[in-house]
Amino acid sequence: MITTQVGWAVAVDHNGYPLAVVRTIDGGRVWREAGPPGLRGQTLDAAFYGTREAWVTWSPHNRAWPITYRTTDGGRAWTRMGSISIAAIGAFAPDMVTGQLGWVSAYLGAAGGSSGMAIFRTTNGGAHWRLIELTDYNKQTPGAIPFGCDKGHAVFSSASTGWVAGSCAGGRPAFWVSHDGGRT
């Protein structure tokens, strides 16, 4: 809940797969669909930034380019924003620190305790997303997030500082931090 009366959520089916973005304005007694029409499925993720603003990332199918959407009026109208230019299994909703600046993490697959990920950044409110980090199983670039270990999505607290959490073989936690907006 954003306030005692207004809240957002992602409704899921009995298997836990996302069905739709929903919103309440009466403290949770009634929830109504409020997401972009027709977007359903496992590749839907949402983030909520107030009583009226929300972002959605959705892919029409596995290994497609995820698309971002934004509403600033409580879900009455949604604007299709930029696409994430990578064939991803899925992508997390934008992590916006301002109306213009944010990041999207794309999930590229996992095997044997390792996972691939890409991080994209926008400086123009989601109109364009630029790749700033890509894990590479063939080489380890100094200052880059390694392919090894399973990873979550990037979370930023400011224009410069963000984290990616994960776990490595044996279950020990791992954390990577950036102090330059995700460039390293």
Q: Are residues 114 and 180 in the same domain?
A: yes
pLDDT (tens digit, 0 to 9) for every residue of the chain, 184 residues total?
999 999 999 999 999 889 899 999 999 999 999 999 988 777 899 999 999 999 999 988 778 899 999 999 999 999 999 999 999 988 999 999 999 999 999 999 888 888 999 999 999 999 999 999 999 777 778 888 988 889 999 999 999 999 999 998 777 899 999 999 998 8
If phi over 0 gives left and psi between -120 and 50 gives alpha, with beta otherwise, what is residue 160? Answer: alpha
The pLDDT of residue 99 is 93
Number of C-beta neighbours around residue 129 at 10 A: 28
pLDDT at 3: 98
Domain extent for 151: 94-184
pLDDT in the model for residue 111: 81
For 78-117, the DSSP string reads -EEEEE--S-BSEEPPPEESSSS-EEEEEEEEEETTEEEE
Number of neighbouring beta carbons within 10 Å of residue 95: 20
Last-in-domain residue among 66, 84, 102: 84
Residues 99 and 178 in one domain: yes
Domain count, the chain: 2
The answer to whether residues 46 and 102 belong to one domain is no
Residue 45: exposed, middle, or buried by beta-carbon count in 10 A (0-12, 13-18, 19+)? buried
Model pLDDT, residue 131: 96
Q: Which of 44, 63, 84 is the last residue of a domain?
A: 84
pLDDT number for residue 171? 75
Residues 118 and 166 in one domain: yes
| Pure H helices in 12-51 | none
| Claim to verify: residue 6 and residue 74 sit in the same structural domain | yes
Same-domain status, 80 and 138: no
Say which residues have a Cβ less than 8 Å from residue 176's Cβ, sequence separation at least 6: 145, 151, 163, 164, 166
Query: Whose CA is closest to 58, among 66, 46, 47?
Result: 66
Cα separation, 76 vs 90, whole angstroms:
25
